[in-house]
Structure 1
Amino acid sequence: MTRLQRLPRKKLAVLMAGLLSSTATAALAAGVATDAAGANEVSAVTVNAARLDPEVTSRTRQETAPNVIETVTQEEVRKLPDINAGEAIARLPGAALSVDTGQGRWVNIRGLDADLTSTTYGGVHLPPTNPVSPQNGGRAFAFDTFPTGMIGSLTITKTNKPEQDAEALGGTVEITPKAIPDGRDHFLELRAGTGEQYSRKTGVVDLSASGGFRFGGAGEDKPFSFVGSLSYYKDALGTDDRRAAFIDKSTSPNLAWSNMTQAYYQFHRTTKGVGGELAYQPDANNRFYARYLYSGYVEDVERDRWVVKTAGASVQNPDGSITSGVKQFDKSLRYMQEQVSLNIAEIGGENQIGAAKVDYHVAFAEGRDYRPYDNIATYTAKPGAASINYNQADYRYPSYTIIGANQLDPSTYGLASVTDNTQLYRTREWTAAVNASLPTHFTGASDEELKVGASARLRTNTHQFNPYTSTAVPAVSLSGVVYGSPIYYYQDHYANGQNISVDGSRNLFQGGAGAGFATNPAANAFAGGAVQQDNREDVYAAYAQEQMTFGKLGILAGLRVETTHASYSGNTSVPTGTTGAGGERGGQTPTFNGSTLLPVSSKADYTNLFPSVQARYELRPDLILRASYSSTIARPGFNQIDPAATIDVANNVVAMGNPNLKPITSNNLDLSVEGYLPHGGIASFNVFDKELSNYIFGRTVFGGITDPVVLGALGNQSTATQVVTYGNIASARAVGFELNYDQKFSFLPGVLSGLGTSLNYTYVDSSGQIRPGENGPLPSTSRNNANAALYWEDDRLSVRGAVSYVGRSLLFVGASRAVDQFTEARLAADLSASYALSPTFSVYVAGRNLLNTAHTITEGSKNRVIQREMFGPAVLVGFTAAL
């Protein structure tokens, strides 16, 4: 249990505030319940109807759970224009969304990085589908892979039970498959929509269907069932992106650029999902099932980018502007296809054997990111005596003027280089698990039981990279491959010149076989082998837990043990002939330009115990107090623990993973009070404290290298080697609280009785040693996060407006505070309305990202913007049917 006396005063105050405010929350719940009773309303937890409202269903699950969870059904998700599971889950208390390319991609829980969030589908752990995560751990599940049309419900588990995988440091997001509603033998749900993305005036197609039925047997006995889901979402979102890199030298002005980039993106994405479950239930005691899911997208990316690179001295002018010399202009086209997919196959069963209940499953899951091509053609202009004058007084829209050159004239640019590559990132996981529960009789309670189980998760993670870099290119002018009118973008603030033709670039390059192109195959093979990874990670687990009830007090307690056996492999480039370049590590790979790729590997074996105690006390049927202690783990990211190194002998610099990293572990304390209101409402307060050990940070250190291969490659250096790597810190902490209030004001008179509101707020104060001797917030921790919605609804009409706020967070730890990178706060707004034409058919209209709030990254301070990206709003219309 957390020792409160060790907490600093500020964090102790947070915990004490949580305990004191429990009384206020309980009083609020009691008052509202009394008002509701006076209005002849029925409490959500006592509703007994053939078909409960989705809010009542979710809230009942939360109220009866032995641990701390938040949950939402697909019907609730559809009330706002969320197009993937991440956007929906981020509206719940404690969750925050990270956005990329205009969609929600990663979910942080309680201020901890997305790599520390675990995701499951029907209890099967989901592998990462996109290897690029904010903190480079490569373990986070990318939620833009999973469309909302494939969801039955979503649940955040915040306090782990022993029966759950311990790899859930921030928490676990469970995506539950669709199911036939209780009391029915069939269902069918259809959705068809269209719309417009305003960033590029492009269309949207939104189609989904889910259905199920029971069949077989004689008469009403239908032991077989099938449930299937289909989803298709197509859009062509465009983003306007502006970036800057600062010189960061004492001899230059603070805001002086080393380069500035303008990028005009066009994405063509088609997201598809298909899933189904075939089940056989011959009687009430036995059920067997087979389940399959595919979900993913194919995205074609076109990026027209213009870059100005500065040179010479940069001068601060009296009016605040800066003048820098121009080294060159680059105009480039990147055309890429990315195929991202998730595949799951599972078979399992549930059996009642005497008094014992047994369930089991075996499953295969694969996350895959395949890029068949990623081509960048760069055209360069080098003006003789040009300069750029720029002013960043408005750091959102800096102004600039090019002096002495026309950067928009394509005839001044010539083809300088072409790169291309094929990449495959793939993570596969095989799972087997069995659980058994048996009633016990220590207290005589009907829900008392002992549950035990065991599981195995066998994971492989690979990265294959096949690059092409030109060594010669034909003499081609940019004017021969551009088309159309000049582009003015970023809300017409900047000219970006004419776009480069994708077809023109393809015809010119011809897969490297075009006239005038040449490359060095040995160099390409060497570069590909340098980043290759092949990792294995096996986790075996067993647990035992007991659930008991003593009157109004419910206790669930137990212990989980997990043992991990892992091996990680890669290649390190060392000078040919270096000590260790061969033999001990499996021999040499081909050499190039005096260097050899040496296979390197490392192993990790460790066992961890995870105790858990969950207490639930029922003050009243609609007022619950909870206290829990749980423990969890996060294993190092594959990039972080990679044993390979990149060695720059000339500059005495090494970039490498750290094969000696320990996993992060956490002891978690939760205290909460939950008041349940009519119609699925709630008023709750939760305070939490996560005590973290061995937190992993990016590190720049000097010396300390022990790897004999790296030491041999460096030779005798006169100064300590600069090492860019990762390391554990002994301890870190995330402490905070969550407020949640959701109520329909049915006690108001007349038309006002349709009003309701949903509000939640999360405060997180995290701390760790981000640099030696210096504490700071943990990466990805937003101190303040909030969601708010105002709605009106009756049996036919529903109107809902919502805003979501994610506070500023640390993105990257630099060598000093001056170069730390931050993701700036973002406020987003959405609006949706639907009208039921009949009990079966409804129409809807919705607006996404109505504020068009930019995704902004800064360095050091808020006026040093290194990236600012806008996606534009979208409007969606369509109809739904439920049969």
Structure 2
Amino acid sequence: MMVFFSRSFFFVSAFCLSAGCFAQSVASEPADLPASTVDQKETITSEKDSVELVGDSSVGESISRRPDLSFANVTINGQGSGLSLGSIPADAVESVEVMKAVTPDLDADTRNGAISLKTKPTYEQELTAKGTLELEYKASDGSLSNEEIFSWGGRLNEAGTWGGRLNVRQEIDHFAIDDIRNDWDTEVVDGQPAFVMTESRIERFHRKSDEWELGGSLDFKASELVSFSARANWELQDREFYAPRLRYQYGDGTYVSVDSTRASVQGASVQRMANGWSNEDREIEAAVGGVFENDFLEAEFQYVYLEEKLYQPNFFQLDFVREGVDLSYDLTNPRFPVTVSTDGTDLDDASLFVFEDMNDQQEWRNEESDTVVTLDLKWKDLGSDNQGFVKGGFKSRARDLTRVSADRIFEGFVADEYTLADVLYAGEIDSVVEGQYRLGSIPSIESGRKFLQDHADEFFYSDYRTRERADSNSYLADETVDSLYAMFSWEIKKWRSILGWRREQTHVSFRANEVIVGADLDDADEDGDLQETVYLGTNPTNGDNSYSNDFPNFHLRYQWNEKLSVIGSFTNTIKRPGYGEVVPYRRVNRDESEVSEGNPNLKPTLYENLDFSLDYAISELNRFSVELFRKSVEDIVFEAESTVVSGAYAGYELSRRENGPTATIQGAKLTWQAPLRMSVLPEGLSFNANYILNDTETEYPGRPGEFLPVTHLPDAEFRMTLNYQSEKTFTQLMYQRTDVSLLRVGDDPSEDRFEHSRNRINLDFSYQIKPKLRYFVVARDLRSEPNSVRFEGDESRLVRYRNFHWSVRTGLKFEL
């Protein structure tokens, strides 16, 4: 660690010396800066992270013009919000701050940077009406989507004491994904162990959504000292899904020959299936608050309530299978395996595929509520020269989750044979995964539902599988986090500091179901088979957990001179398990021979963060920044996978989130933004280059003695944008590269899973037709590279290939 920081500091020092950062001798005392207003901001931020608001547009578009910014959280007036940034007009915002490190007045789970918005009271805004009309083309399925946004609001009376805003958004979106997933294992073939593909599936996922959002706010200025505000947001999403799938199950047969690119299998299976469902997602958010502010004290309270109800009334899954097929696969191109029948079986003949199982789900509900109460007090302009402030407060947040799953699973048909030909999809999906595959014969969800309705008494209902799926996926969970904080800020000449502390008390409880399965020793079904696995009962389980944490924080900035500033921070943060993750649920996927479980013993992950940066302004528009960071992580969470050795699920792959030992994450981030000024280039060109280097290390329980990277964190990321801006035109070309990252740690290196490196190119263009009318074009993923390529062990063993393809959005932004 010391070596890393020493080398990094040497690099920074060398750059600064060559660029002239230290305008004065280090041995002499730097001269005082010109007198300036004392900084009363509640954060210490870098100038390079400032966001320029696009006056005639939204906050969302303004932030999208800075793809170099790193943040994982968005707060509006100090609280998280479900409000779309695209629906917030830029001129309704007082400030946008990008924070690299959390301050004590923010939740301790605000990690990896945050964007904090502070809105203007609407009674301080001019009354305006703005809108956006947009069309989007997606190359994945050739579909067109549309979105309309309208915002009206501002000062409502001449006295300027009332203000309000109304936002309306409507979107119809079509979305399609092509997906390949493969599984691998070791088999002994001709007396030699070999890696073989046990399964390959090709899937197309369709989604159509109709979304409405209605939001409003009302502000009242009661006096020069007191103001009140209220806002509400309602969102409705209606979605329809259809997902046909073709699946080759080589592992069901016997491998007769294997080499590095080919394998032949006797007695394999081929499955053709489809899922179809719709859901309705309703979200309501309401908030009220008030502010008292005089020359010395600022007090603010907020009450926020959020409720989301996701209702899925008609999930339907239908599977057909052809067993005993001889297959071979070819991995000459490892990203696109080619499978053929070697025994003459026509794999497109729907009449050869017989009914395997079906889930006619009656209901699935997911209901969440979130209630937040906060009080913040700030004593400002402290000291003889108004150098500082003190701020403190408390927050209480209560969340609860109710999940209900009501399945009906059938796995047999008593009458004449039920085949795919009886419910064949009338259309055909010819081109999947960039034209590499065709799905051929697939089931129709509508025909499958009608067939069940017409032959309801002829199917075998599986009580065992129904209760196994439904009971264990129905549960209640709640989480309460109560917090207190205090922070102190002081500024003396070139120094600015924030010192603070936060304490959070967490309580989690759940009520779930434990499904008991085992051998039918009492022959409950009277079939004489005492060894078959049957449903034995469901036992309610309850549990809870409480813990408290202290989070000290320290931030410091030193303004060396007018060009160079130094920023450092020491913070502590937390990542709690999702309160639904600690419920001891069990999801069984019999098609994939997989089991996933919740873990009631899962502990939160604690982070101790050290950040240091040097920001150097070569000129007004030419800035260079170096950031160094180190995170010490305790109880890191990872996805543990193992094989069930006994019981009803013997041989299944068990997936469960577990806590690991400590980990270290350290690295550097280099940013350079500057104009491009050459006689042969037009005025208004600039670039922004951003490079992030990560060096991580931890020891996983299943691999003692080995120090491996932390999962889901690439070794390096690079972004560069080329910008052109004139009086009427803005153009931005962005290139991004993300290196390989570790996703899952196996029992040995050959079972480790990785996310492949990825390159992206995006283009943004806008043109001001006239003062209140602007045309824009947004193109994404112009290289049309896959969005996700995952492999196991080495790149020849693909486990996932997913591609969203390129897309283009275009439209108008206007003000009436």
Q: Quickly name the TM-score band, shorter chain normalised.
A: 0.7 to 0.9
- CA distance 1:272–1:46, change in 2 (3 Å): farther
Structure 1 residue 232: Cα displacement: 2.6
1:66 matched to 2:44:
yes
Match of 1:304 in 2: 244
Structure 1 residue 728: Cα displacement: 2.9
Match of 2:737 in 1: 805
Q: Which stretch of structure 1 is more off in the superposition, 499-508 or 816-825?
A: 499-508
- CA distance 1:298–1:767, change in 2 (3 Å): farther
Is the 2:398–2:479 Cα contact (8 Å) retained in structure 1? yes
Please give the secondary structure, in 2, of the residue aligned with 1:763. strand
Q: Read off the aligned partner of 2:172 and give its amino acid letter.
A: K
Report matched runs for 1:533-548 at 5 Å: 533-548=475-490
Match of 2:632 in 1: 691
- CA distance 1:503–1:531, change in 2 (3 Å): closer
Deviations 1:713-768 (A, max 9, x none): 999xxx9x9986444334111111112222333x5448522211122121111222
Please give the secondary structure, in 1, of the residue aligned with 2:447. helix
2:357 to 402, 405, 417: 417
C-alpha distance in 1 between matches for 2:742 and 2:379: 47
1:265 matched to 2:205:
yes
1:224 to 137, 162, 165: 162
C-alpha distance in 2 between matches for 1:880 and 1:204: 17
C-alpha distance in 2 between matches for 1:381 and 1:701: 29
Structure 1 residue 635: Cα displacement: 1.7
1:875 matched to 2:808:
yes
Is the 2:519–2:534 Cα contact (8 Å) retained in structure 1? no
Structure 1 residue 670: Cα displacement: 0.7
Structure 1 residue 799: Cα displacement: 1.9
Match of 1:350 in 2: 291
C-alpha distance in 2 between matches for 1:822 and 1:727: 19
Deviations 1:521-565 (A, max 9, x none): 686356322222212211111111111011110011011111122
C-alpha distance in 2 between matches for 1:595 and 1:272: 46
Is the 2:468–2:535 Cα contact (8 Å) retained in structure 1? no
Q: What is the TM-score normalised by the length of structure 2? A: 0.85
2:471 to 525, 529, 536: 529
Structure 1 residue 17: Cα displacement: 3.7
Structure 1 residue 858: Cα displacement: 1.5
Structure 1 residue 769: Cα displacement: 1.6
Match of 1:497 in 2: 440
Q: Which stretch of structure 1 is more off in the superposition, 537-546 or 64-73?
A: 64-73
Structure 1 residue 166: Cα displacement: 0.8
- CA distance 1:146–1:27, change in 2 (3 Å): farther
Report matched runs for 1:307-456 at 5 Å: 307-310=247-250, 311-316=252-257, 320-340=261-281, 342-352=283-293, 355-382=296-323, 384=324, 386-403=325-342, 404-421=344-361, 422-439=363-380, 441-442=382-383, 444-456=384-396
Structure 1 residue 654: Cα displacement: 9.7
- CA distance 1:151–1:313, change in 2 (3 Å): farther
Q: Read off the aligned partner of 1:734 and give its amino acid letter.
A: I
1:838 matched to 2:770:
yes
Report matched runs for 1:205-220 at 5 Å: 205-216=146-157, 219=158
Deviations 1:174-232 (A, max 9, x none): 4x47657997422333111213212211112122123321012xx4x211111232323
C-alpha distance in 2 between matches for 1:702 and 1:312: 20
Is the 1:349–1:361 Cα contact (8 Å) retained in structure 2? yes
1:734 matched to 2:668:
no
Q: Calculate percent identity across the aligned residue pairs.
A: 17
Match of 1:135 in 2: none
- CA distance 1:398–1:495, change in 2 (3 Å): same
C-alpha distance in 1 between matches for 2:306 and 2:58: 30
Is the 2:145–2:174 Cα contact (8 Å) retained in structure 1? yes
Q: Read off the aligned partner of 1:91 and give its amino acid letter.
A: P
C-alpha distance in 2 between matches for 1:74 and 1:165: 26
Is the 2:123–2:156 Cα contact (8 Å) retained in structure 1? no
1:467 matched to 2:397:
no
Structure 1 residue 83: Cα displacement: 9.1
C-alpha distance in 2 between matches for 1:817 and 1:298: 44
C-alpha distance in 2 between matches for 1:577 and 1:517: 24
- CA distance 1:570–1:277, change in 2 (3 Å): same
Structure 1 residue 856: Cα displacement: 1.3
2:494 to 532, 535, 552: 552
Gaps of 5+ in 2: 24-33, 521-532
Match of 2:79 in 1: 124
- CA distance 1:857–1:223, change in 2 (3 Å): same
C-alpha distance in 2 between matches for 1:742 and 1:63: 24
Structure 1 residue 617: Cα displacement: 1.1
Q: Read off the aligned partner of 2:474 and give its amino acid letter.
A: Q
Q: Read off the aligned partner of 2:778 and give its amino acid letter.
A: A
Q: Which stretch of structure 1 is more off in the superposition, 302-311 or 152-161?
A: 152-161
Is the 1:253–1:314 Cα contact (8 Å) retained in structure 2? no
1:240 matched to 2:178:
yes
Please give the secondary structure, in 2, of the residue aligned with 1:778. coil
Gaps of 5+ in 1: 1-6, 34-44, 49-59, 96-106, 108-117, 128-144, 579-591, 704-712
Please give the secondary structure, in 1, of the residue aligned with 2:10. helix
Q: Read off the aligned partner of 2:404 and give its amino acid letter.
A: Q
Match of 1:754 in 2: 684
Q: Read off the aligned partner of 2:238 and give its amino acid letter.
A: V
1:567 matched to 2:509:
yes
Report the count of equivalent residues: 771
C-alpha distance in 2 between matches for 1:259 and 1:84: 45
- CA distance 1:530–1:83, change in 2 (3 Å): farther
Structure 1 residue 876: Cα displacement: 2.3
Deviations 1:282-323 (A, max 9, x none): 344222101122346433221111112124332445784221
Q: Read off the aligned partner of 2:504 and give its amino acid letter.
A: E
C-alpha distance in 1 between matches for 2:121 and 2:19: 34
Is the 2:194–2:258 Cα contact (8 Å) retained in structure 1? no
C-alpha distance in 1 between matches for 2:744 and 2:615: 37
Please give the secondary structure, in 2, of the residue aligned with 1:407. coil
Q: What is the TM-score normalised by the length of structure 1? A: 0.79
- CA distance 1:490–1:694, change in 2 (3 Å): closer
Match of 1:198 in 2: 139
1:91 to 67, 76, 82: 67
Q: Which structure ranks higher in relative contact order (CA pairs < 8 Å, sequence separation ≥ 6)?
A: 1
1:20 matched to 2:10:
yes
Match of 1:763 in 2: 693
C-alpha distance in 2 between matches for 1:685 and 1:484: 56
Q: Read off the aligned partner of 2:500 and give its amino acid letter.
A: G
Q: Which stretch of structure 1 is more off in the superposition, 422-431 or 830-839?
A: 422-431
Please give the secondary structure, in 2, of the residue aligned with 1:487. coil
Please give the secondary structure, in 1, of the residue aligned with 2:347. coil
Deviations 1:558-587 (A, max 9, x none): 111111222233222236999xxxxxxxxx
Structure 1 residue 462: Cα displacement: 2.6
Deviations 1:491-528 (A, max 9, x none): 22223214543432333334x97564453568635632
Deviations 1:654-675 (A, max 9, x none): 9754433332211111100123
Deviations 1:446-490 (A, max 9, x none): 351111111111121232211120144464432342213462322
C-alpha distance in 1 between matches for 2:726 and 2:602: 56
1:187 matched to 2:128:
yes
Structure 1 residue 688: Cα displacement: 0.7
Deviations 1:626-645 (A, max 9, x none): 01111111222335432457
C-alpha distance in 1 between matches for 2:801 and 2:653: 31
